[in-house]
Amino acid sequence: MRTAIDTSIFKSYDIRGIVPSQINDDIAYAIGRAFVEVLERKNICIGRDMRPSGKDFMDALSRGATDAGADVTQVGLISTDAIYFAVGHFGFDGGIMITASHNPAQYNGFKFCREEAIAISIETGLAEIRDKAIAGDFKPAAERRGTIREQDILEGFADHCLSFIDDIGAIKPFKIAIDAGNGMAGETVPRVFKRLPCEVVPMYFDLDGTFPNHPASPIEPENMVDLQRAVKAGKCDFGVAFDGDADRMFLVDEKGELIGGDIVTALVGIDTIRLNPGAKILYNLICSRSVPEAIERAGGIPVRSKVGHSFIKKTMRDEDIPFGGEHSGHFYFKRNWFADSGMIALMQCLNVFSRASGTVSSVIAPIDRRARSGEINSTVKDIPGKLAALQAHFKDAAVDQLDGITIQYKDWWMNVRASNTEPLLRLNVEGDTKDVMERHRDEALAIIRA
């Protein structure tokens, strides 16, 4: 039976839409059935975050999957990185996570992976799932309808995360403010930290998909203000914030200063090289120049990548890279089936901070030496024209087109790339000093917004 579905809910890497106008139980059923039929899955797991519609969507997805003949294991309230663990560790041939990540409360959605936690994108199966769900041309109900069972995987997930600490006895008794943003970190953090000597100052640990305190999107500085205040007021050693589905992680130092995802990439990269001398470490091209410099100083080999997890995971698999990170707070690990995990990144940061003699800010200072603009979006009608104008204006620069255009000078650089889904140009600028960064940021914006 054909199902009326708004195709705009199908994004590059997942499904997200407003409940119930864009996503409802009938659509969830069709997507669950299409997922199993298109990818010929036999044994899948389904997890969810704390959004109010999650339980009903889990049941609807399960009905669709079992009607198509797959066995379903419901793993309950978990983080997105825990679904990757469940699929990889327990040998499921597919997984669905019900989440809209950092989106506002009225949204929900689905993320998909196949065996070995390999993520599914619009190019690798999601388009076919979309077309099958919309058409509703499902096979006749399977002779053997699949089964549904429940399994708690969070203790195993905690064990897995803790395995990235090579000596738990060496972890210092840090005082850490952790902002779960009413998201799934409120469930995962206690499972992990009960085995560590750290004192956790919990913030917004109650699971609440209406997000009553602030949006669970720590990449936005305004959503970090409460954490910064708590770190300073509580004299904490540092602070941590997770997004809604707890797969991304952000840090602040003991002064309440924000630490970028690219600098966290350098920290985890350094720790990875300590455990894997000479290893390659991947970073995306929006990261600070300080990241490859830190990797080289630690004896590793920096590998520059396009933005986006599909490119990063493929490169890491192809080149057998143990760790990769992005400025956006996504961190990828070979020992995590090349999937991302904010919690694992935090464990390796604990390694680094525990081995250091000084404060977190003193650990960061030698690495974080430049000024960055952050990502600035501009609505643009003629994207190719603007990119050409930028290249013409900065004609004496070194330029590459790995992802959009990157324009490089000795003391500053910028990247400008188009959004995949909107008529936007995304600008990132870094300078050796704040003055240099701001001057060239404004110079670029004058061209882009003319």
Residue 17, beta-bridge partner list: 108
Catalytic residue status for 121: no
Do the Cβ atoms of 331 and 264 come closer than 8 Å? yes
Tell me: cis bond preceding 212? Omega within 30 of 0 counts.
no
Left if phi > 0, otherwise alpha if psi is -120 to 50, otherwise beta: which for 343? alpha
The beta strands (E) that lie in 5-92 are given as 15-18, 43-48, 71-77
End-to-end alpha carbon distance in the chain: 50
What's the token pair of residue 442? 């404004």
Contact in structure between 146 and 69 (CB atoms under 8 Å): yes
CA nearest to 309, candidates 373, 263, 248:
248
Is there a contact between 29 and 437 (Cβ–Cβ < 8 Å)?
no
Q: Which of 53, 62, 79, 101 is catalytic?
A: 101
Contact status, residue 363 vs residue 300, Cβ threshold 8 Å: no
Measure the CA dihedral 97/98/104/105, to 10°.
-150
Q: Are 182 and 204 in contact (CB under 8 A)?
A: yes
Helix (H, G, I), strand (E, B) or coil at 242: strand
- Are the beta carbons of 403 and 307 closer than 8 angstroms? yes
Q: Which of these, 305, 450, 306, 307, lies nearest to 392 by C-alpha position?
A: 450
175-179 and 199-203 strand pairing = parallel
Which of 164, 174, 371 minimizes the C-alpha distance to 253? 174
In whole angstroms, what is the distance from residue 267 CA to residue 353 CA?
A: 9
Rounded to 5 degrees, what are φ and ψ at 158? -60, -45
Q: Provide the CA 51 distance to its chain's centre, in angstroms.
A: 18
CA–CA distance, 169 with 91 (Å, rounded to integer): 31
Cβ distance 142 to 37 under 8 Å?
A: no
Name the amino acid, one letter, at 246.
A
State the helix-helix crossing angle for 154-162 and 80-90, rounded to 10 degrees: 90
Annotated catalytic sites, by residue? 101
